[in-house]
Structure 1
Amino acid sequence: MKTIPFFPYSDLFTRDEEALSKVMLDVCRRGAYILQKECREFDAHLAEYMGVKHAFGVANGTDAIIIGLKAVGIGPGDEVILPSHTYIATAASVHLVGAIPVLAECGEDHMLDAADVEQRITSRTKAIMPVQINGRTCNMDALQAVADKHGLMIIEDAAQGLGSKFKGRSAGTFGKFGTISFYPAKLLGCFGDGGAIVTNDDEVAAQIALLKDHGRNEEGRVVAWGYNSRLDNMQAAVLDYKLKHFDVDIARRRAVAARYQEGLEGVPELNLPPGPKSNSDHFDVYQNYEIEADRRDELRSYLEGKGIKTIIQWAGTPVHQFNELGFTVELPKTDAFFKRCMMLPMNVVISDDEVDYIVDSIRSFYLEKP
């Protein structure tokens, strides 16, 4: 029986093993492990790719949000509005700087709902944090209008958004700062943990530079309390190599999404993500291909029997359902979404034949009697 993994982790290395081995051996032979030229070069190339003034590699995507929040002065008593449809790290980062995560609904496109955000603003609200999820950028015009109306800053969790755009502008570049994750399964993945913070604000950049490396300035003197959150130089070298080919990977993801769209758009039991050409304002890069499905759990079991691995993101738990963390807010739209959502295999090494097999299997499931 054919087996299609949800994400083929080993292929991150084996599909380009010879070139990646050379990159890593070069780092090791030079003993270039911490904050060497690869880190500087990757920061510069990432900033250029995203069209921002400053980019800083850090240890992981969660650190990126925490450091960004500290750099813009968000702290105890401040409220930050963010979607419940996100990974716990987004809300945890707000909590860990002493601020209060305020959870909001997602809209029909599964992104943060600007109208719902506005209803949750209080006198303590300091920022809105859209999450550029699944390789799509939110409608930033709508969110910026709310922020401007109420005098709030925009900050972005673009962990899953690198390469995606709204009206030609890159995810992560709309607010005071944006963050990226380089976790292996992300759009640009390294061989461990990694993240980045980007900003166009010189003052914010100066604070990030201090905070990510023990509060040390360019002369090496400690002038502030900081973190040990440096992007590993080996990972920077790998990421810099991969960034050179990143547009090819994005094109493949969009081609896979188009093939799913063509094969599944006529199935009434499904709600698909927007297709690659559905809206000229959005350039989606499909970190994930997340659908809504009738009889979701039965469909997943059926696909498992066909050798097709699927997942429900974050084990099917949006942030507001973590009652142990003190959340009591009711978000019926998000609840309804999580009863139907699931992810199909989406990566750059999946073949057209495998996509067609997944499509045919899904169509067969719904043609059978319940």
Structure 2
Amino acid sequence: MNEQHTTTFPKWPAFHPDSLRDVIEPLKSGEVNYWTGNKGREFEDAFAKWCGSEFAISCSSGTSALHTIISAMDIGPGDEIIVPSYSFIASSYAVLQAGAIPIFCDVSADHTINPDKIEALVTKRTRAIIVVHLYGVVCDMRPIMEIAERYQIKVIEDAAQCIGGQYYNQKVGTLGHAAAFSFCQSKHFTTGGEGGMITTNDENLAWECRSFRDHGFDVKHKLALLEMEEKEKYIHHRVGYNYRMTEIQSIIGLNELKRFDDWNLLNRRKNAFIYRECLSQCQYIESLPLDTPDRQNAYWLFPIVFDQSFDEQRTESVYKKLVEKGIPVTKVLWPEAYREKAYTDLIGFGKANFPFHSSEYTDPQSVQYDNQICPMAYSLSKRTLNLHLHPTWNAEHIEKCASTLLGVLAEIHGDNHGK
């Protein structure tokens, strides 16, 4: 039987009050499309300025942002991209969507791609490395950028879970050659359920991203035509998709960005500090996310890794007891993507299952996913749970989660040492 709970956890997302007013205007005017209003370009400019990048290109999702970057880099059939096995499926699916092959790399104990494991995976087909700042934990970027420079390959940041993270005082999203952010329902903030953003300092890449996102339009030419209030029949210069963001999404994004540093990210970091204060001495916890002089995390979630005595069954027991006690908690998220059916059974596009079975473009050795294992990702998959720390929460909510977890650990071990 469930216990009685006195703590109510505020839900997330919670929208800026101004958005409830501001989204009415495009509904009244009918200017709801990216090209009929001006809020889309305003949001892009504001995000670029906030991030410290030269250019920002809004998209319909974080997944479409990744797909756009990869395709704009002219990566496709015959190419390979190194990706961490421990990430949401979109990080590797975007590679397949471009016709390339994902090569899975193991992670470090902090849940992010292990720089020491990357170089052994580089082949003549390798065109890029995707780094994922998982859970809001910032990757160790310097050794990764050194590898990329050595082999003349690109680095793409998947920053979907790390808005506001910093590496040596430089914001995530400006550390590689391009980055993809997500504004999905559960992320640091959402632009109304879905949304994404690309950042880059490469002007040519930015134009290619704008084109791919917009049916392959020659966007620079299209902007010039808009200035002259003219149109041409044929201005599609490449294959592309419709990945544009709407005006209403952009309005919501602008309002969330205004309060991000001083409220959203500030509260997440305060809450992370409280978790560390409460949990750092627990003998059953092996690691917690930490800020260091070189890396300041953005804390989408707060991943907790239990010690080596934990297996999948014991971690599951902790999870169930926390849920029973009304604590918001999430299991380990996507540690071994190569175990997905699409990879084990090589189910690609069409009857040919492209690109997995392409004799022309794909190395058969690269797609033997059913034999793959990433040892650290596998170990973390059995010992990790995620506590929440939304900016709408305060110290009472965080302390409630932490004290309940310590109580559950003590209960499972039959002692008081969990506390």
TM-score by length of 2: 0.83
Aligned partner letter, 1:239: G
User: Would the aligned equivalents of 2:53 and 2:200 in 1 still touch at CA under 8 Å?
Assistant: yes
In structure 1, C-alpha distance between the alignment counterparts of 2:207 and 2:66, rounded to whole Å: 16
Q: Which residue of 2 aligns with 1:292?
A: 305
Alignment CA distance shift 1:5-1:325 (3 Å)? farther
In structure 2, the partner of 1:28 is: 27
Aligned ranges 1:108-187 → 2 under 5 Å: 108-187=109-188
Q: 1:325 matched to which residue of 2?
A: 343
Distance 1:6-1:97 versus aligned 2 partners, 3 A rule? farther
Distance change >3 Å, CA 357–CA 60, structure 1 → 2: same
Q: Does 1:2 align with 2:1?
A: no
CA contact (8 A) 1:32 1:233 kept: yes
How far has the Cα of 1:150 moved from its partner? 2.1
Aligned residue in 2 for 1:241:
255
Residues 1:259 and 2:274 aligned together: yes
The secondary structure found in structure 2 opposite 1:292 is: strand
d(CA) in 2 for partners of 1:99, 1:273: 35
Q: Which runs of 5+ in 1 are unaligned?
A: none
Structure 1 length-normalised TM:
0.94
Partner Cα separation in structure 2 for residue 3 and residue 170 of structure 1: 39
Contact residue 5 and residue 345 of structure 1 kept, 8 A: no
Greater CA radius of gyration, 1 or 2? 2
Is the CA contact 1:253–1:286 (under 8 Å) kept in the aligned structure 2? yes
Residues 84-126 of structure 1, C-alpha deviation per residue, up to 9 Å, x if partnerless?
Answer: 1100001000011110100001102111001111111112111
Is the counterpart of residue 341 in structure 1 residue 384 in structure 2? yes
Q: Which moved more, 1:66-75 or 1:304-313?
A: 304-313
- Structure 1 residues 47, 5: closer, same or farther in 2, change over 3 A? farther
User: What does 1:187-336 align with in structure 2 at a 5 Å threshold?
Assistant: 187-216=188-217, 217=219, 218=222, 219=225, 221-247=235-261, 248-276=263-291, 279-293=292-306, 294=310, 295-314=314-333, 317-326=335-344, 327-328=369-370, 329-336=372-379
CA contact (8 A) 2:10 2:393 kept: no
CA distance in 1, matches of 2:257, 2:6: 30
Larger mean Cα displacement after TM superposition, 248-257 or 221-230: 221-230
Alpha-carbon distance in 2 for matches of 1:47, 1:287:
21
C-alpha distance in structure 1 between counterparts of 2:377 and 2:22, whole Å: 43
CA distance 1:159–1:6, shift in 2 (3 Å): farther
Work out the number of aligned pairs and report it: 363
Shift in alpha-carbon separation, 1:43–1:5, aligned structure 2, 3 A: farther
Structure 1 position 153, deviation (Å): 1.5
Q: Distance in 2 between matches of 1:71 and 1:33?
A: 26
Q: Confirm or deny: 8 A CA contact 1:183 1:189 kept in the other structure.
A: yes
User: 1:121-154 CA distances to partner (integer Å, 9 max, x unpaired)?
Assistant: 1121111111112112211101111112222211
How many Å separate the matches in 2 of 1:93 and 1:5?
A: 38
How many Å apart are 1:7 and its aligned residue?
A: 7.8
Moved more, 226-235 or 183-192: 183-192
Q: Which residue of 2 aligns with 1:86?
A: 87
**Which stretch shows the higher mean deviation, 320-329 or 75-84?**
320-329
RMSD: 1.7
Determine helix, strand or coil for the equivalent of 1:129.
strand
1:325 Cα shift?
A: 1.7
Q: Percent of aligned positions with the same letter in both sequences?
A: 26
Q: Secondary structure at the match of 2:180?
A: strand
Residue 352 of structure 2 is matched in structure 1 by: none
Partner SS, residue 146 of structure 1? helix
Question: For structure 2, which runs of at least 5 residues remain unmatched after alignment?
Answer: 226-230, 345-368, 415-419
- CA 1:308/1:136 → structure 2, altered by over 3 Å: closer, same or farther? same
CA contact (8 A) 1:87 1:318 kept: no
Q: How far apart, in 2, do the equivalents of 1:7 and 1:84 lie?
A: 32
Greater alpha carbon shift after TM alignment, 199-208 vs 148-157: 148-157
C-alpha contact 2:180 2:198 (8 A) present in aligned 1 = yes
Cα distance in 2 between the residues matched to 1:209 and 1:321: 34
